[in-house]
Amino acid sequence: MATQTENQRKAAARKAAATRRRNAAKRSQSATRSAAKSTQSSAARTAESAAQTAETRVKAQVNTLQAVQAQAERAVLIPFGAALVARDAVVDATKPYTAGRESAEKELEKVGKRVATNLRKFERRGNTARNRALREAKKTRTRVERELRQRRSSAVKTVKQNRRDAEKQVRSTRREFERQVKATSREVQSQAETLVNRVGALA
C-alpha cells in the first residue's frame, strides 16, 4: 500500500509539473506573439523564443509520458501487491504447522478446543430444539385427546337422548295400543252381551 501511495504522489506531482510547463509554454507563446507585434521584435529573439517554447513543450510532453508511465506501473503493482498479501496470509495461516512439532501440536490443540466448543454449542442447540418439539407434540396430543373426549361425550349424550326418545315413543305407542285393545274388548263384550240378551228374549 505504501508503494501505491508513493506512485500516486509521484504521478500527481508529474501531472502538476506538466500543467505548469504547458501554462508556461502558453505564456511564452503569448509573449512571443506580443514581441512579434511590437517594434522591438527581431529575428534572433523570435528564434530564441521559439526554441524556448519548443523546449517547454518537450518537457511538458515528457512529464505527461512519465505520468502515464506511473499510472501503468500502478496497474501492474496493484494486483502484484494483492497477490503478495494473499501469499502472506497463507504463509501466516500455515506457519504454526510448519514451525515445528510443538507449534503444530499447540495449533492442533487450539483447533480441537474450538471443535469441542462448537460441538457443545450444537448439542445445546439440538437439545433445546428437541425439548421444544417434545413440548409442542405433547400440547398437540393433549389438544387432540381433549377434542376426542369432547366428541365422545357429545356422541354418548346424543345416543342417550335418542334412546330416551325412542323408549318414550315405544311406551307411548304401547299405551295407545293397549288402550285400543281394551276399547275393542269392551265393545266386543258389549256387543256379545247385547246379542245374548236378544237371543234370550226370543227364546
Secondary structure of 32-62 as H, E, C letters: HHHHHHCCCCCHHHHHHHHHHHHHHHHHHHH
Task: Spell out the domain ranges in the chain.
Answer: 2-98, 101-189
Top mean-pLDDT range of 16-20, 32-36, 55-59, 119-123: 119-123
Q: Quick: pLDDT tens for 38-52.
A: 555 555 566 666 667
C-alpha cell of residue 112: 480441537
Residues 59-105 have pLDDT tens digits of 777 777 777 776 777 777 777 777 777 777 776 666 655 656 676 67
Question: Which residue in 28, 34, 20 sits closest to 50, CA to CA?
Answer: 28
Q: What integer pLDDT is reported at residue 68 of this predicted model?
A: 73
| Sequence-separated (6 or more) residues with CB below 8 Å from residue 60 | 18, 21, 22, 25
CB 32 within 8 Å of CB 53: yes
Q: Name the pTM for this structure.
A: 0.32
